[in-house]
Structure 1
Amino acid sequence: MASQHEAAFPSFADFMDSIASARHEDFVRRSVAGTTSAEEFSAMAHYIRDLYAGIEVTHSFLDDNGQVFDCIPIGSQPALRGNSSLPPAAPDPPATAGQHDAGQSLPIQPQLRSDRLDRFGHSMSCSPGTIAMRRITLEEMARRGSVRNFHQKYPQGMSPRHRPSGPDDSRQYATAVQTVDNLGGHSYVNVWGPRVTGPDAFSLSQQWYTGGSPQQNIECGYQVFPGKYGTTQPVLFIYWTADDYRTTGCYNLECTAFVQTNSSWVLGGTLAPVSVPGGAQTELDVAWYLSGGNWWLYLNDIAVGYYPASLFGNGQLATNAQEIEYGGETWVQNSATWPPMGSGQFAAGGWQIAAYHRDIQYVATDNTPQFAKLTGVQTAPSCYTALANSGPQPWNEYLFYGGPGGTTCP
């Protein structure tokens, strides 16, 4: 039970009351409105009310960083609201070339377990038939200035490699890519906690499956983004866009896109433990698979949920992707210093020093598993590097990547 000096638990009812009574002038006075106009502030409040309309919260809890999660019935999540049919049964995970092998690393386990309690004594778990939805606050949205800016992967920006006005120097990559028609793919993602400070920077490691023009993406990995999640710990995230980040896309369950079906994993929740330099390495088994008209996400071979392929209209990802990509990315805004990527060490450091993806595979359009044949991409090699190679089980096709960042990355 909370002490008399500790703030009361932020119940869902109180949260919704606070949205209804919020006033732009109060946020301005508290210096939490950022550049948000009164009109945009009203649009944000409306968006949150609409996102949670009709939701029945069965249980709520805090994570270790103070983020609030609400357990809601699967059928009442934003992407299914008003849909009377149940989500389809998940297909088996995609077949693999060779046998998955944990190797010398420790697997990251699902975040929710009934034996975990928050500081109020609430169980950090959701019962079967419900999922955990990260609570979106007006303060978080207001920091981004507009509803659309809130949804963008790169706030106040556009696609890093296809910006119409020319090169964009606010993001950098150390990745490995292959152009190949595919129905998804797989890698073990080595999890680190790169040091990111300030609200306008992130560092991540992820998978991309992309195709078409304008480019369409589905993505999953971990991200350190204090300005969004209020923590310097790595967070599990997903993202999608149907038009090269221009007008579509959102993180996690923050719009009517992804349908979550599993109650053990938390999108927007922290991942632990992280890897130790020269010591224990941790990793997350991530796979995407287009089957039955849905892009299914698997973590540790557990089906987490799916993006309906209908999100992509008549675009490329409605039928298959054309490129696979794995590795790291950083983004900065209003900052002269680029954050570390991965472990903060260059790719040449190798095992236990540099970050990696390993056992990288894709699913060919005939549903056969294939080992990738990747080419490294380094947009700022003085700050971040990438080395793709192949080896025996359990590495197969793999990538070491990362670097310290710094002040001379663009």
Structure 2
Amino acid sequence: MIITRLFPAAGLLTLSLPLIRAQTEPFIPFDTFLQGVQDATYEQWKGTAVESSAAFDTIKAHILSMYNGIGTISNTFILDVEYADCVDIDKQPTVRLLGVDSIQSPPSNASRPDSQGDGPAVEYADSPLKLGLTDRFGNRIYCPDKTIPLARLTLQKLTRFPNLQAFFAKSQDGSGLPSPPSNRQVVLTRRADEPHLHAIGSQNVKNFGGNSWLDLWNPVGDFSLSQQWYIGGTDDNIQTVEGGWIVYEQLFNTKKAVLFIFYTADNYGSQLCYNLDCGAFIQINSHWLLGGTWNHYSVSGGAQWGFEMQWKLYKGNWWLFLKGPGTYEAVGYYQAKIFKGGQLSKNAEAIQYGGEVTRWDRSHNWPQMGSGALPSAGWTKAAFQQSIFYIPDGSGGAGVWASLSTVVEGLKKCWDIAYTPSSKGGSWGSYFYFGGPGGKVCN
């Protein structure tokens, strides 16, 4: 999906001045927001990126369907620039749209494999919803038990895209999977002039999920991330469960990295979306805001902040776990049935970890990846992922350290990856440094 008319003049102003707008705009209660969507017309929004009256009507209908029957909102707060409404766990959009009768209980997270030796000490970033904070309007940044934080789906957000499918897509061309190693028979067709480029570690192995610790940075550029992929299928039937952190100002209206998850059931075609933006992911945890920023990020030459993410296919559900300073917390799950009998309804066939970038226009620089430093810069300078293991079966057993082959798409002066196996990784197990400065010419 190639997005055109991405940034009309008004949209450019909106994205370039988020902090000024935040200081001058009034707080918008949930009922006021929803009434505004109900009353909105295309004439009011045709100066945005939305491509037609029909596209606007589809966007508006999607927002209203997500909130139909939402019930009472117990709290609303703003984290950075993102509104979040606390929704009853049983009335969240996916539960209603998929007709879920009962929300499942999570398994335990997989045991970490044994490791030997030491590794550099890292700092675990916790969810801001657990820190006792208030927003600039005095609202507590938290959600009560038995509710979940739902990032608000606004017309301002969705009309930065030409249509609803473009909003759901991982980025401009809708793609986002690294080119596979030569021993995996998958051929992906690039669907835009500006491709997604990657520096990743990959292993073709039957798995039921996996784990990594992700170092948190704020790279500069149009689109840059550090993430995990769990992949199955071939050609147009490729399916993924993904997650990590991403800098994607067009979608999230901030230059900071935010927490994200993503899935596709049809090779980034029409069955895909981020976070809770469609009826796919069921959240059970009140502490974590998908699409939210953190209070701490890594500093070049200083403290290295991050979080642990784990996916686990267990009894027909792809469970997401996150770990800050405490223990792993089950955040929620994709029902495997959304993969409609495809490979990820059974297991994944490959694991991939690393960085991805793209740019919206050839006049733009390719973004920084990771910290913006090449892997050779090393500890406290280059970004990394560590504690990388996969889950070999669906019974809840221990993980197995990954054995990764590296793939770099683009010029190594722009970004690269340097992998260390678990046999030499000390307490970090399998890990890699990755990233780089980007630049004008990178492919």
Q: TM-score range by the shorter chain?
A: over 0.9
Aligned residue in 1 for 2:223: 202
Does structure 1 residue 67 correspond to structure 2 residue 92?
no
Does structure 1 residue 154 correspond to structure 2 residue 179?
no
The structure with the largest helix share of the pair is: 2
| Pick aligned residue for 2:357 from 308, 330, 345 | 330
Aligned residue in 2 for 1:52: 67
The residue type equivalent to 2:442 in the other structure is C
The alignment yields a C-alpha RMSD, in angstroms, of: 1.9
Q: CA deviation at 1:23?
A: 1.6
Instruction: Give CA-to-partner distance per residue, 1:5-63, whole Å, 9 cap, x none.
Output: 954310111111111111212222xx3x2142011001111110011101121110111
| Pick aligned residue for 1:145 from 162, 185, 202 | 162
Aligned residue in 2 for 1:34: 49
Output the TM-score relative to the length of structure 2: 0.86
Q: CA deviation at 1:392?
A: 3.8
Is the contact between residue 175 and residue 196 of structure 2 (CA under 8 Å) also seen in structure 1?
A: no
| Pick aligned residue for 2:275 from 241, 252, 261 | 252
Is the contact between residue 114 and residue 123 of structure 1 (CA under 8 Å) also seen in structure 2?
A: no
Is the contact between residue 119 and residue 426 of structure 2 (CA under 8 Å) also seen in structure 1?
A: no
| Residues 127-142 of structure 1: pairs in structure 2 closer than 5 A | 127-142=144-159
Cα distance in 2 for partners of 1:246, 1:274 equals 33
Instruction: Give CA-to-partner distance per residue, 1:350-379, whole Å, 9 cap, x none.
Output: 111111011110111264421110011110
| Residues 2-401 of structure 1: pairs in structure 2 closer than 5 A | 6-28=24-46, 31=47, 33-56=48-71, 57-64=73-80, 66-81=81-96, 83=99, 85-98=101-114, 103-113=120-130, 115-159=132-176, 161=179, 162-164=187-189, 169-196=194-221, 201-213=222-234, 214-300=237-323, 301-336=328-363, 337-365=365-393, 367-380=397-410, 381-390=412-421, 391-401=424-434
Instruction: Give CA-to-partner distance per residue, 1:71-122, whole Å, 9 cap, x none.
Output: 0011111110164633111110012212699951100102203621111111
Q: Percent identity?
A: 35
- Residues 180 and 167 of structure 1: CA distance in aligned 2, closer, same or farther (over 3 Å): farther
SS at match of 1:394: helix
Cα distance in 1 for partners of 2:415, 2:249 equals 21
Cα distance in 2 for partners of 1:217, 1:168 equals 23
Is the contact between residue 194 and residue 362 of structure 2 (CA under 8 Å) also seen in structure 1?
A: no
Is the contact between residue 159 and residue 244 of structure 1 (CA under 8 Å) also seen in structure 2?
A: no
Count of residue pairs the alignment pairs up: 398
Is the contact between residue 173 and residue 192 of structure 2 (CA under 8 Å) also seen in structure 1?
A: no
Cα distance in 1 for partners of 2:196, 2:442 equals 9
SS at match of 2:428: coil
Consecutive unaligned residues of structure 1, counting only runs of 5 or more, are none
SS at match of 2:76: strand
SS at match of 1:44: helix
SS at match of 2:433: strand
Cα distance in 2 for partners of 1:318, 1:37 equals 37
Is the contact between residue 144 and residue 155 of structure 1 (CA under 8 Å) also seen in structure 2?
A: no
Q: CA deviation at 1:155?
A: 2.8
Cα distance in 1 for partners of 2:190, 2:322 equals 37
Is the contact between residue 78 and residue 84 of structure 2 (CA under 8 Å) also seen in structure 1?
A: yes
Q: Which range moves more in the overlay, 106-115 or 396-405?
A: 106-115
Is the contact between residue 175 and residue 191 of structure 2 (CA under 8 Å) also seen in structure 1?
A: no
After TM superposition, the runs of 4+ consecutive aligned structure 1 residues lying more than 3 A away are 99-103, 156-169
Is the contact between residue 383 and residue 405 of structure 1 (CA under 8 Å) also seen in structure 2?
A: yes
Cα distance in 1 for partners of 2:238, 2:375 equals 28
Instruction: Give CA-to-partner distance per residue, 1:309-341, whole Å, 9 cap, x none.
Output: 111111111111011011110121124311101
- Residues 311 and 355 of structure 1: CA distance in aligned 2, closer, same or farther (over 3 Å): same
Cα distance in 2 for partners of 1:149, 1:374 equals 32
- Residues 295 and 143 of structure 1: CA distance in aligned 2, closer, same or farther (over 3 Å): same
- Residues 296 and 228 of structure 1: CA distance in aligned 2, closer, same or farther (over 3 Å): same
SS at match of 2:386: strand
Cα distance in 2 for partners of 1:150, 1:230 equals 13
Cα distance in 1 for partners of 2:248, 2:191 equals 26
SS at match of 2:148: strand
SS at match of 1:49: helix
SS at match of 1:125: coil
Q: CA deviation at 1:164?
A: 3.5
SS at match of 1:9: coil
Is the contact between residue 119 and residue 425 of structure 2 (CA under 8 Å) also seen in structure 1?
A: no
Q: CA deviation at 1:170?
A: 2.3
